[in-house]
Amino acid sequence: MSGRDELVERVHALLAAPRPWAVTQVGDPVLRRPAEPYDGQLPDALLRELLDAMFRHLPGVGVGLAAPQVGIPLALAVIEDPAEVPPEVAAERERVPQPPLELVNPVVTPLGSRYHAFYEGCLSVEGLTAVVARHARVRLAACDGSGRPYEMELSGWPARIAQHETDHLNGILYLDRAEPRSLSTVANYERFSAPRHEDGEDARRA
């Protein structure tokens, strides 16, 4: 069986799996290998089905998902953030609603020298959170699921999500960029560190 045939079988198996999907956890080698650039390894209809299913996984779970997190080693990711947080949190974190974005072979380029440091979590690192400094503004260049290229500037929380997801596609986890002494269980973060106006969900997982 060719590598492409194996990928097609793997995607079909994923789409048939019970929902919500079991997200690949830290320690699995697929999270530490750079994803394979997407160049048509999947039939167009199957790619469309995969991206749509990845979006359907997000509500109530996270704000982004990269294909390696569900065992598919391709440079694909999706982002969507309704930003349903208190106004004070939204203002502090520059968190605005981010409509759905399909990221095929994405490249993120920092803009300016400003960084923001906030707690961040990850669907592939269950139960933990840590402070990560990220570029406050970036340029995102990618293709959508139909192969149309696009570029856009992102700032604040959407820029953080884009950096987190493209890191996944390069075999990087947020823990690699985190301040080690800030590492906490989510429960202890909510108990000791979360500002009082937060609802315990400051850093939606990606």
Pairing status of strand 98-110 against strand 137-143: antiparallel
Residue 151: active-site member: no
Exposure string of 153-171, with b = 16+ CB inside 10 Å and e = fewer, is ebbbbbbbbbbbbbbbbeb
The three-state secondary structure class of 206 is: coil
Q: How far apart are CA 9 and CA 15, in angstroms?
A: 10
> Edge-to-edge strand order for the sheet containing 128-135?
115-120, 128-135, 184-185
**Which of 165, 179, 198, 201 is an active site residue?**
165
Catalytically active residues are 165
